């Protein structure tokens, strides 16, 4: 099997991974409808969910697995179309999968995970880790928090109906190349201690956590490559250059200071990079 993996950024925390003739998607959301989320004064908690099937068809093709990091709209809102379109196995928590069942995603495609799993797929492995969503503000609150255990809720209609539902991180390994993904800049340090990815996908840090960049780089052994993720203004069209809303460019300076041997790989919308080989 080859140890060459090509990654393509689909905006926000959406990634396409290709290796050994297989495709893995992480948080594949490309519709990018307006919510006012990146313009605080225009914030609309009741923004209606929508799926731009044309955009999905343009940017997302085949897939073997889909990995959900958490249940917010900018991570799973396109899955009611993506999952049946691709026939992929979808990994997520009970809540994530219940939100998808409520939107008629076929149950046979849904694989419940909670952290600790190590799955062998054809051509790659996926290891699952518990994680946490960023907490915001003085009182450390989580946006649209909540769980949907044991039952399928009513069909989600607005962005606030898609609750966080627990957060996960993933280590995806193709041969000698491994890639570590989280859905937020929060992480469970003791759980990932000793994980040694080839590529770390890193979000801009939250001020509610002490030295998050330095700690995750140390916990993962100062990876050879660091790729910023979830830093763009995710309401602008995916076909336009990424707007640096959350400081993805500046993250490179912190990585260089904490891990000077790591190569910082900054990708724009729809750009690709290949690792290994």
168: domain CATH number is: 3.60.15.10
Tokens of 152: 């399928």
d(CA 205, CA 199): 18
> Where would I find the H helices in 180-276?
189-192, 212-219, 251-258
How many beta carbons lie within 10 A of that of residue 172, not counting itself? 25
Domain interval for residue 217: 4-276
Q: What's the pTM?
A: 0.95
Residue 196 CB contacts under 8 Å (≥ 6 apart), including other chains:
178, 220, 221, 223
| Helix, strand or coil, per DSSP, at residue 45 | coil
Distances in Å between the Cα of 239 and the Cα atoms of 7, 43, 141, 271 are 17, 23, 33, 11
Task: Kindly give the confidence (pLDDT) of every residue in the chain, 277 residues in length, as a single tens digit, with 9 standing for 90 and above.
Answer: 557 999 999 999 999 999 999 999 999 999 998 887 766 556 688 899 999 999 999 999 999 999 999 999 999 999 999 999 999 999 999 999 999 999 999 999 999 999 999 999 999 999 999 998 776 667 567 677 777 778 899 999 999 999 999 999 999 999 999 999 986 678 888 899 999 999 999 998 777 778 889 999 999 999 999 999 999 988 888 999 999 988 899 999 999 999 999 999 999 999 999 999 7
End-to-end CA distance of the chain: 11
d(CA 166, CA 147): 7
CA angle 6, 60, 175 (to 5 degrees): 30
Tokens of 75: 């991570």
Q: Are 191 and 115 in contact (CB under 8 A)?
A: yes
Give the number of domains in the chain: 1
């Amino acid at each position: 099997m080859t140890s060459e993996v090509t990654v393509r950024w689909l905006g926000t925390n959406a990634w396409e991974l290709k290796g050994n003739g297989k495709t893995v998607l992480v948080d594949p959301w490309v519709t990018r409808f307006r919510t006012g989320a990146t313009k605080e004064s225009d914030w609309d908690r009741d923004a209606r969910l929508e799926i731009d099937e044309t955009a999905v068809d343009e940017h997302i093709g085949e897939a073997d697995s889909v990995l959900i990091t958490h249940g917010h709209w900018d991570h799973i809102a396109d899955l009611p179309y993506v999952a049946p379109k691709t026939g992929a196995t979808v990994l997520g928590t009970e809540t994530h999968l219940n939100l998808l069942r409520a939107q008629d995603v076929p149950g046979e495609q849904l694989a419940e995970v909670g952290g600790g799993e190590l799955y062998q797929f054809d051509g790659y492995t996926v290891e699952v880790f518990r994680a946490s969503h960023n907490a915001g503000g003085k009182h450390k609150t989580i946006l649209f928090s909540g769980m949907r255990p044991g039952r399928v809720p009513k069909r989600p209609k607005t962005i606030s109906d898609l609750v966080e539902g627990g957060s996960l991180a993933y280590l995806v390994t193709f041969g000698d190349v491994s890639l570590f993904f989280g859905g937020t800049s929060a992480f469970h340090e003791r759980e990932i201690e000793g994980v040694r990815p080839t590529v770390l996908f890193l979000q801009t840090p939250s001020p509610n956590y002490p030295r998050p960049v330095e700690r995750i780089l140390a916990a993962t052994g100062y990876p050879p490559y660091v790729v910023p993720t979830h830093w763009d203004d995710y309401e602008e069209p995916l076909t336009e250059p990424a707007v640096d809303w959350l400081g993805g460019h500046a993250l490179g300076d912190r990585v260089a200071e904490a891990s000077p041997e790591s190569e910082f790989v900054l990708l724009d919308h729809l750009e690709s990079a290949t690792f290994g080989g």
